[in-house]
Amino acid sequence: MEITKIKDFDTISQRILYGYNFAFSDFAPVKSDSADADAQREAHCLMRRITDELYKNPALLDLPLAEDDSYGWYVCNNQRPQLNEIYLDAHKKVYEFYKFLYFSTLSGDIQSGRLRVKKDDLRLHKAPYKAINKNLLRTVGFDVVIEKENVVLQYAGAKGVLPALKFLAKVHAGRKPAMKFASDLKPVFEFIRCTYSGSYEYILERIDALYEYDGMLMDLKKQCLDDGYKQILYLDVGPTSFCFNVLLQKDVGGFRIGYNPRKYQQFCFATMNGIGEKAMLEDFCNLSADMQKHFVEICRPCNGCLGCTKGGRTKPYTVEVQFRDRVFDLCPQFPQHEWEVFTPDRINTLFEYHDLQEKYAR
């Protein structure tokens, strides 16, 4: 699948599967005694074909074919419970397929072009074979034989593919992750994106290309690292979610470049948090003109909802400020921290903002 910017999909399942295609790694072989570079390439092509075939035909895993729908930035999952159920159904089925394939290759034995895995081993990892998996497996060249105590996968393609898949599973089972995970399931994700090296540098480059930023995100990363920021890729993968954030993090705040399939604008460009904002507003007159303008733009004027007072038990968060001869009652409780795109001006403003966080959040 060619990675292009898509806002509207045919189905919700394709909206979710787009992320699996986007995160799929560039091919980068590593040295291995069990799988040479050609075998690793064949396995990489197979895993790519799985994501492509499933995107083209979600019915291969009985994924929901509901018409595309998504959430606005400020809409929570439980605000649309029926839509939430569709997303959960799709996420669960895709994840369970990959989890089965991962633990089959990790635990199974390879003989004469067949991968034989014990059902007990699959149950131990809560990764049982399901009959629906056969449709997708057959589409990409596997025959499935169910024995009394085993599941047998026979691949009709290059004979080096099964050892290469096993090597892929094993290398990540014992490798320290290069990213932070919201769960302990990182080897499954590394298997899904079929990375032998474990590199994730292409993620930021791919987002930059998608938005035609002409290297702006790589320049941002370099400037951040030069200024003492740290780069972290934070991932949430499992039966309920598949999303990731590239963080360029300072001690308090930082930049966040994220992907969430549930949102209509799947990719977001953001600052990590609003720590220190109320203190900045209270010292508004000492902020630069650019930062004053930033706060007037991101903070909602107080509408008297009193949601910040915890039922009247605390004082309102609202801070009265004066900007360009106008008075604003700004609420720091629900500021805008995410944008559809980054611009050089926005980036420069956020660098100043993050520096202020280091001062005002203490």
pLDDT digits (tens, 9 = 90+) for 92-116: 999 999 999 999 999 999 998 899 9
Residue 199's pLDDT band (boundaries 50, 70, 90)? confident
Has residue 237 been placed in a domain? no
- The reported pLDDT for the residue numbered 182 is 43
Same domain, 155 and 300: no
Residue 254 maps to a domain: no
Q: How many other CB atoms are found less than 10 A from the CB of residue 318?
A: 23
Q: Tell me if 5 sits within 8 A of 211, measured CB to CB.
A: yes
Q: Which residues pair with 256 in a beta bridge?
A: 247, 270
* CB of 236 closer than 8 Å to CB of 181: yes
Within-domain flag for 362: no
What would the mean pLDDT of 7-34 be, rounded to a whole number?
Answer: 94
pLDDT at 135: 97
22 plus 159 within the same structural domain: yes
**Among 141-150, 173-182, 273-282, 334-343, the least confident range:** 173-182
Count CB neighbours of 1 within 10 A: 16
Tell me, yes or no, whether 234 lies in a domain: no
Position 340 in a domain: no
pLDDT at residue 176 tops 70? no
**Domain C-terminal end among 175, 200, 233:** 175
Tell me the mean pLDDT in the region 26-50: 95
What pLDDT does residue 352 have?
97
Positive or negative: CA dihedral 105, 64, 186, 52: positive
Higher-confidence position of 340 and 184: 340
Number of domains in the chain: 2
Lowest-pLDDT range, 116-130, 253-267, 302-316?
302-316
* Residue type present at position 280: M
pLDDT at 236 over 50: yes
pLDDT of residue 183: 47
Could you tell me if residue 115 is inside a domain? Answer: yes
The answer to whether residue 180 scores a pLDDT higher than 60 is: no
Q: CB 131: neighbour CB atoms within 10 A?
A: 9
Average pLDDT over residues 26-39: 94
User: What is the predicted pLDDT for the residue at 1?
Assistant: 63
The torsion angles phi and psi of 257, rounded to 5 degrees, stand at: -120, 110
At 246, the pLDDT band (50, 70, 90 cuts) reads very high
CA atoms of 1 and 52, how far apart (whole Å): 6
pLDDT at 124 over 60: yes
Q: What percent of the chain has pLDDT over 70?
A: 96
- pLDDT tens digits, 128-161: 999 999 999 999 999 999 999 999 999 988 999 9
Contacts 24+ apart (CB under 8 A), 68-75: 68/8, 68/9, 68/10, 68/11, 68/12, 68/14, 68/15, 69/12, 70/12, 70/15, 70/262, 70/263, 70/264, 71/262, 71/263, 71/264, 72/263, 72/264, 73/263, 73/265, 73/268, 73/338
Q: For residue 124, give its domain range.
A: 12-175
Is 323 within the bounds of a domain?
A: yes
Q: What is the pLDDT confidence band of residue 175, given thresholds at 50, 70 and 90?
A: low
Question: Average pLDDT of 303-326?
Answer: 82
How much is the pLDDT for 184?
A: 52
Asked if the structure places residue 327 within a domain, the reply is: yes
**Which amino acid belongs to residue 354?**
H
